[in-house]
Structures are given as C-alpha cells and as structure tokens.
Amino acid sequence: QKEVEQDPGPLSVPEGAIVSLNCTYSNSAFQYFMWYRQYSRKGPELLMYTYSSGNKEDGRFTAQVDKSSKYISLFIRDSQPSDSATYLCAMSETLSNYQLIWGAGTKLIIKP
Amino acid sequence: DAGITQSPRHKVTETGTPVTLRCHQTENHRYMYWYRQDPGHGLRLIHYSYGVKDTDKGEVSDGYSVSRSKTEDFLLTLESATSSQTSVYFCAIHRQVTDTQYFGPGTRLTVL
C-alpha cells in the first residue's frame, strides 16, 4: 500500500463547477501538506501549502486538512478551463531534509 | 520561476550508453533534488543533495549516481542506461523562505 493515495482520474467537470480533489495517507506523523499543479509537459508548480490541520484559502482555491481521518482536500471554486491540469498532493513529517512523499496525481479536465 | 534550468530538455539514447543530466540553479539554494515521473507512479525521488559534495539516496536510486561540485549545479548520471530508465526527470530546489520545493522544466529521456 502506498503511503499517499490519490485517484488518478481523469475528473471531468463543466466550467464554473466546484471541484474537489482528495488524497488519503497512512502516516499519522505527516504535518506538512502541499498541493502542486502540473500542466502538460511542464514541471509541477506549488499551489497551496498548509501545516497541520485546518483550512487555508487563496483566491478560488481552498486547502483542507483532516488529520483525524488522514485526508486532505483541494477545492476549486468557479473552475475555469485554465484549471485543467494534473494536481499532485505532497506531504512530509518533518522539514529536516525537506523530503516529500507524493501522490500520483489527479488529472482534471474543465469543459467550456 | 525559481531560476532552475535543466539540460538537455530532450534526449534519445541507446541502451548501455552513459547519460548525464544537468540541473542549474541561480539562487544559491542548499537543497536540490532529482525526481523521475512515470505514469501511475507520480514523482519518485532518485537522489538529493544538502550541500556541495553532500548527497544521499532517495527511493529509486539504483542505476543512478549524482554529483554536486558547485552549489549551483547538480548532475544526475545514468552509468549504463536501460529502457526502464525512460522517463521524465525533474530537478527541484528547496526554497527556505516558503519552505517548499520548486521544480525545473524537466528532461524527457528515451532509452531505446
């Protein structure tokens, strides 16, 4: 079993919809949680970063961490075709060597 | 843009030949990483470096070696390339100000 599980999709939704992307993990020691967005044939780019539990909002994006359920989510409001990409979650126990454990990514398609 | 360049961006080589990929950064970051990305596996850490001449193995280090003789350059070498090493290779740096990793544009390697 992988430490971090993420549905590969593709997830296809109409423009304007609210999107929910999720990751589950098995290591209860994870404290640092990130979401990256990766466009086709590009490197991943950091989207959101949260520490421990709770919510964090940045524009149309909200990251949510539920440590009791070992579950993190990324919500995208008013989704746009430009949001079409692969979304990867990453997490870490400690920042001592800054190593991250990655989900395999969910491919998101926003239909105009 | 984290000031990371990778070279070459594309390479086709034959089984058994040595291959070196270069990652160059302009911002003097201490930590640098090499990942490979394959469908269904997400990002997997090959090697990382925490300073000049200081490197350590990641999850999938077999068949790969690295060197870091200058802060700005991190080299990944495939001593004798195999078809299983066909992949997209990403270099990343850890930026302490934001405590997260930033990625280069990637190198697409095909081993025939």
Q: Report the CATH superfamily, name and number, of domain A4-111.
A: Immunoglobulins (2.60.40.10)
The domains of chain A are located at: 4-111
Give me the mean pLDDT over the A21-37 stretch: 94
H or E segment at A33? strand A32-38
Residue from the list B45, B90, B103 with its beta carbon closest to the beta carbon of A99: B45
Q: How far is B89 from chain A (nearest CA, A)?
A: 10
**CA-based angle A38:A15:A58, to the nearest 5?**
55
Give the C-alpha separation, A51 to A30, whole Å. 9
How do beta strands A71-76 and B73-78 pair?
unpaired
Q: Provide the residue-wise pLDDT of chain B in tens; the chain has 112 residues.
A: 568 999 999 999 999 999 999 999 999 999 999 999 998 788 999 999 999 999 999 989 999 999 999 999 999 999 999 999 999 999 999 988 777 889 999 999 999 9
Domain B4-111 sits in CATH 2.60.40.10: yes
Q: Would strands A71-76 and A11-14 be described as parallel, antiparallel, or unpaired?
A: unpaired
- Taking contacts as CB-CB distances below 8 angstroms, the residues of chain B near A104 are 40-42
Weakest-pLDDT range from A2-11, A103-112, B47-56: A2-11
**Cα–Cα distance for residue pair B28/B93, rounded to 1 Å:** 10
Alpha-carbon distance of B96 to B111, in angstroms, equals: 35
**Count of Cβ atoms closer than 10 Å to residue A83 Cβ:** 18
Distance CA B90, CA B98 (A): 20
Closest CA to A70 of A101, A106, A108: A101
Per-residue pLDDT at A54: 82
Q: Share the mean pLDDT of chain A.
A: 92
DSSP E strand boundaries for chain B: 4-7, 10-13, 19-25, 32-38, 42-51, 54-57, 64-70, 73-78, 87-95, 100-103, 107-111
The answer to whether residue A31 neighbours chain B at the CB level (below 8 Å) is no
CA distance B43 to chain A (A): 6
CB environment B30-39: b (16+ within 10 A), e (fewer): ebbbbbbbee
